[in-house]
Structure 1
Amino acid sequence: MKQLLKHIAILFIAFISLNTYAQKNNFKGYRIEGDTIVFSFNKNDYTKATYDFDGDKYDFDDFDIKNVVVSGEFNNWSKNKWYMTKVDEDKYELRKSIHDFTDEFSWEFKFVINNSFWAEPSKKDGNITKATKNGRKIYGVYNLKMYLAHPNEKGNAHFKLKGFKDAKKVIVAGSFNKWNESLFKMKKVEDGWELTLKIKPGVYEYRFIVDGKWMEDPSNIHKVKNEFSEYNSLIDIKEYTAFKLRGYTNAKKVVLSGTFNNWNEHDFVMRKMDYGWKYVLPLSGGKHHYKFIVDGKWVLDPNNAVKEYDDNGHVNSVCMIK
């Protein structure tokens, strides 16, 4: 019994430690849950707010909070568009799909109280940047920063650098984080260093920084020459996408064809389902044209309203991966 209680205590401590670690790695003002960005405002995290009309600073205790708005580069710093929902006495939240944002890696933002008071984050917060006006930094004023690429053990991009056991710090930097030299620190493991990120689908360049020295990924044969006559490694993040053609249950054979397979008429034979036909394949980020070939006849996707002409004047269905 004592041994069982000991094991339970160890598991409980480990659970608390993991949760504490995860919370420490959450950036202030937002978190990412799958494909959803959750903006989170807690008035206890702020002491000062700047009045929009005259620039004076006020204590949070000087006014009652009637509403909170998320304002940033992604909505042209609007003070009356992205209203948050009150979840308890001190907290407000707003949930947005990650697809509401473009391919920009990072965004600056702030919280606006009563459409007039800009909540001021502290210099000690981890994801802040100095605010600018007309290209000049404003002393003592900071914006929060949101990153669309982020560490996630269940992410879709795994980086591994073998060896370098004596290194003190290893960073992975690339086009997915605007080559930030400090943001993504890799974790030391038995045979080297590793880090898993969640990144939007696309093709990215990257390098490792080992104790300040830049290098390509020695285990990745895919690379491109950079402006320093060295090489950046390449990674292609793909997303598994299901193509479905409903109906046509009497067809003998249905093939999926598109720009992703050079319009091959034979390779992607679809699987027959109760509702029709299905085929799943990994796609890189971007726009893909496609059609179905039903018993030799080319057919547009009847359940996809998005269509475009190609360079040859043909109309195709369109699939966007972002």
Structure 2
Amino acid sequence: MTLKSLYIITILFVITIHTSFAQNQKGYTIEGDDVVFTFHRSDYETLSHDIEGNRISFDDLNVDNVVVSGEFNNWSKYDWKMTKINEDTYQLRKPLSKFDDNFTWEFKFIINNEYWAEPSRNTFNAVDAVGENGEQLHVYNLKMYPKAYPDDKGNVRFRLRGYESANKVIIAGSFNKWNEHVFKMYKIENGWELKLQVKPGSYEYRFIVDGQWMEDPSNPDKVRNEFNEFNSHINVGKYQTFLLKGHQNSNKVILSGSFNNWNEDSLKMTKTENGYWKIRLPMSAGKHHYKFIVDGNWILDPSNSVREYDGEGNVNSVCMIK
């Protein structure tokens, strides 16, 4: 079976271990559909008072509460209160949907609603900022790319063969708003590589090799862009399980749909011991029409109430991959 526009998306075991994005950064991680803010007391030595500006040693302060404060909540000192995990750790989990209006956010942690815990300059994801009075501030930079983020166990592996003499290779695309700096690739034997966790969808991308943009030479799926050049294209999908309950006396059940040109033979379902017919297969992102063929008889999915006409007078069950 061939899925249209589905570039080869597999999870591969990577022998060469790189230092991952999640391992290096402090202050937050992205886990599934959530941003998890994490405060570790051991990451800070001093604190600065919100009003007076004087710095004190962390050892001189008893921690009563920790709040996440940043551009996403108008630097509130009270709203995003964290949960105490142990004596040294506090956490707060927020859905990615809270951050859809922007793709970078500055934030810090505030202790007891009055002392700022600022990251040091050499912290991986810290940046310099300027306060209202011109003072230098050190803040975390929350890079929000809800559609993609680096992950050693990600579902998409980008690889560029050759260019071993290059100093820097970047992957940029519609999944990260074509940012030219963030997704740096790692040098491997015979080329460059980066694994991303990418949400299902259709995306365009290019490599930037020492400042020069280029398409992916190993990906034949490409589209012409506004510069009369080509962007490489992928349609990231995911595995979908189809189940049909009952029909245990049937001899054969087939899954057929728009994803395999309504082939009546290729997707044979397996009878399970708990009273179902089952099949699991990779699906490209988007909307798909389908039906089951039970011993030659076409039927809708009785467990799926979402149905549509196909324009030819037929009613089909609908599966959305997103």
- TM-score of the superposition, structure 1-length normalised? 0.69
- 2: CA distance between counterparts of 1:163 and 1:177? 24
Stretch moving more, 200-209 or 137-146: 137-146
Q: CA deviation at 1:76?
A: 9.5
What one-letter code is carried by the residue in structure 2 that aligns with 1:298?
I
Q: 1:245 to 1:132 in 2, by over 3 A?
A: farther
Residue 26 of structure 2, aligned match among 14, 25, 28: 28
Q: 1:24 to 1:255 in 2, by over 3 A?
A: closer
Quick one: higher RCO (CA 8 Å, sep 6+), 1 or 2? 2
Alignment correspondent of 1:292:
292
- 1: CA distance between counterparts of 2:99 and 2:245? 31
Q: 1:119 to 1:163 in 2, by over 3 A?
A: same
For residues 45-56 of structure 1, the aligned pairs below 5 Å read: 45-46=43-44, 47-48=46-47
Q: CA deviation at 1:293?
A: 3.8
What one-letter code is carried by the residue in structure 2 that aligns with 1:195?
L
2:130·2:137 contact (CA, 8 Å) conserved in 1? no
Render the CA deviation track for 1:276-320: whole Å, top value 9, x for unaligned.
111111122344454434441423342x56x35457598765544
What one-letter code is carried by the residue in structure 1 that aligns with 2:282?
P
- 1: CA distance between counterparts of 2:250 and 2:213? 56
Structure 2 gap ranges (5+): 1-16
* Secondary structure of 2:232 counterpart: strand
Alignment correspondent of 2:175:
176
Q: CA deviation at 1:252?
A: 2.9
What one-letter code is carried by the residue in structure 2 that aligns with 1:188?
K
Q: CA deviation at 1:87?
A: 2.0
Q: CA deviation at 1:175?
A: 1.6
Q: CA deviation at 1:233?
A: 1.0
1:29·1:144 contact (CA, 8 Å) conserved in 2? no
Alignment correspondent of 1:156:
155
Q: CA deviation at 1:88?
A: 1.6
Q: 1:89 to 1:102 in 2, by over 3 A?
A: closer
What one-letter code is carried by the residue in structure 1 that aligns with 2:279?
Y
Q: 1:301 to 1:122 in 2, by over 3 A?
A: farther
Alignment correspondent of 1:93:
91
Q: Given the alignment of the two structures, is residue 245 of structure 1 paired with residue 225 of structure 2, yes or no?
A: no
1:174·1:205 contact (CA, 8 Å) conserved in 2? yes
Render the CA deviation track for 1:82-112: whole Å, top value 9, x for unaligned.
66432221212345787x6898894636466
Q: 1:197 to 1:80 in 2, by over 3 A?
A: same
Q: CA deviation at 1:223?
A: 0.9
* Secondary structure of 1:39 counterpart: strand
Render the CA deviation track for 1:102-147: whole Å, top value 9, x for unaligned.
98894636466579567654555433567899xxx99747453144
Q: 1:131 to 1:320 in 2, by over 3 A?
A: farther
2:106·2:139 contact (CA, 8 Å) conserved in 1? no
* Secondary structure of 1:168 counterpart: coil
Aligned pair count reads 294
- 1: CA distance between counterparts of 2:251 and 2:77? 57
For residues 95-110 of structure 1, the aligned pairs below 5 Å read: 106=103, 108=105, 110=107
Q: CA deviation at 1:254?
A: 2.4
Render the CA deviation track for 1:216-236: whole Å, top value 9, x for unaligned.
112221111112111111122
- 2: CA distance between counterparts of 1:81 and 1:228? 46
Q: 1:271 to 1:189 in 2, by over 3 A?
A: same
More helix by share: 1
- % same residue: 50
Q: 1:288 to 1:58 in 2, by over 3 A?
A: farther
Note the aligned Cα RMSD (angstroms).
Answer: 4.3
Structure 1 gap ranges (5+): 1-17
- 2: CA distance between counterparts of 1:241 and 1:104? 30
2:65·2:81 contact (CA, 8 Å) conserved in 1? no
- 2: CA distance between counterparts of 1:250 and 1:258? 23
* Secondary structure of 1:176 counterpart: helix
- 2: CA distance between counterparts of 1:76 and 1:310? 47
- 2: CA distance between counterparts of 1:102 and 1:284? 26
Q: CA deviation at 1:251?
A: 2.8
- 1: CA distance between counterparts of 2:106 and 2:319? 31
